[in-house]
Amino acid sequence: MQTLLLKGNQIDEAGAILRKGGLVAIPTETVYGLAANALDGSTVAKIFEAKGRPQDNPLIVHIADISEIDNLVAYVPPVLYDLADAFWPGPLTIILDKSDLVPDEVTAGLDTVAIRMPSHPVARKIIRAAGVPLAAPSANASGKPSPTTAAHVIKDMDGKIDAIVDGGPCEVGVESTVITLAARKPRLLRPGRITPEEIEEVIGDELIIDDAVLGRLKEGEKAASPGMKYKHYSPSADVVIVKGTLENFAKFVNERAGEDAAALVFDGEEDKIKCKTKNFGEENDDLAHAAKLFDALRACDDEGVGTLYVRCPGDEGVGLAVMNRLLRAADFHIEEV
Ligand code: TXA
Ligand code: MG
């Protein structure tokens, strides 16, 4: 298949392909998504094929207007409108009981559906041009770090989908915060740009943090969010998170680093490290860590890095999302030095 490269202003072209049952990669404020008509099960099935995605991992449905939600869910809890007022359009995904209109292909057979209203202007225009809600997972090959530029998408998806819309680099850089309102208590399933503290302030209730956010699922344990159980965000390199002072980090890395090693460090630390370095912003800048993480992991793949040593960032605020992705990339390998 020839994959068409579209610019961010070619909205009508993207909308037409989606209406005809095609797959289009679109920019969002978090990461690029691989979109298809969410109301057409056989079209949605093609997303799983293009990504090599496990069949039991459900997709997020993207809307442009709050009115679209009524058709997609069985019941709208009042707190949904408070959350929508505070965070939509934006990087928050909310899981609710689904309506019969949502095909099983979208929800992987679950009776709940994940809904998000993205804020990226190109994404919003494309949803409106398609005239239907769009099911869209991240536009990476399954298991690879999510794409934050059109070049990342081309690398994984060229020849497998109908079109890629280039909207420039994604601002947030990690996927949306996912919460469920379909459980007895609101629960955080995946951390993102919208933090648990911000959500608790709006819902006036505790947001339970699912064990899988910073922990590893135990053998045979059922995942509240199926995506949590896969070794995700995973570059080809072995990733090792090294927790400790810069001095101890440098000593640890410099003693071990072979020819094909690299280190992911904070701004200004490069000259302490003897191997190749990548940088993910200033030490206390959680937004920069989020924005730069996936590009750094992907660059390591492109350069054939064998082992990547990562300076351990803080896990407060958006840092919780960064640590959640890093722990999976490292398969939970942390060294304390
Ligand atoms: O920022 C984002 O959310 C991006 C952009 C494209 O919108 N999308 C994204 O989609 O990250 P994906 O498919 O890579 O991640 C969706 C996550 C998965 O972990 C999936 O298991 C979970 O949401 N999910 C989707 N529907 C669910 C449901 N009904 N119940 C529980 N988890 C669900
Ligand atoms: Mg994904």
Q: Is the pLDDT of residue 233 over 90?
A: no
Q: For residue 245, how many other CB atoms are within 10 A of its CB? A: 9
Across 171-295, the runs of DSSP E, i.e. the strands, are 177-180, 187-190, 208-209, 238-243, 261-265, 276-279
For residues 211-243, one letter each, b for 16 or more C-beta atoms within 10 angstroms of the residue's C-beta and e for the rest, the string is: ebbeeeeeeeeebbbbbbbbebbbbebebbbbe
The per-residue pLDDT for range 156-199, each reduced to its tens digit, is 999 999 999 999 999 999 999 999 999 999 999 999 999 999 99
Ligand nearest to the CA of 192: 1
Structure token digits, residue 186? 């609101």
Mean pLDDT of 45-57: 95
Residue nearest to atom 10 of ligand 1 (CA): 137
> Which overall architecture, per CATH, does domain 4-213 show?
Alpha-Beta Complex (3.90)
Q: Supply the angle between the helices 286-302 and 150-157 in degrees, to the nearest 10.
A: 40
**C-alpha span between 265 and 249 (Å, rounded):** 10
Q: Is the pLDDT of residue 85 over 80?
A: yes
For residue 313, give Cα distances in angstroms to 102, 145, 254, 290, 318: 39, 18, 19, 10, 11
Residue nearest to atom 30 of ligand 1 (CA): 225
Q: Is the pLDDT of residue 231 over 70?
A: no
**C-alpha span between 296 and 277 (Å, rounded):** 10
Q: How far does Cα 198 stand from its chain's mean position?
A: 19
The structural domains of the chain, with segments of one domain joined by +, span: 4-213, 238-336
| CATH class assigned to 238-336 | alpha beta
Q: pLDDT over 70 for what percent of the chain? A: 97
- What is the pLDDT at residue 315? 94
The per-residue pLDDT for range 101-155, each reduced to its tens digit, is 999 999 999 999 999 999 999 999 999 999 999 999 999 999 899 999 999 999 9
For ligand 1, what atom is nearest to the CA of residue 138?
Answer: 14
**C-alpha span between 184 and 181 (Å, rounded):** 8
- What is the pLDDT at residue 226? 73
pTM more than 0.75: yes
The per-residue pLDDT for range 34-46, each reduced to its tens digit, is 999 999 999 999 9
**C-alpha span between 289 and 282 (Å, rounded):** 8
Mean pLDDT of 289-304: 96
| Confidence label for 234 from pLDDT (cuts 50, 70 and 90) | confident
Nearest to 306 by CA among 274, 275, 268, 336: 275
Coil vs helix vs strand at 140: coil
Mean pLDDT of 50-60: 95
Residue 156 CA to ligand 1 center (angstroms) comes to 19
For ligand 1, what atom is nearest to the CA of residue 226?
Answer: 21
- What is the pLDDT at residue 197? 97
Start-to-end CA span in the chain (Å): 50
- Name every protein residue with a CB atom under 6 angstroms from any ligand 1 atom: 28, 30-31, 33, 57-60, 91, 93, 95, 107, 110, 112-114, 116, 118, 136-138, 175-176, 178, 189-190, 225-227
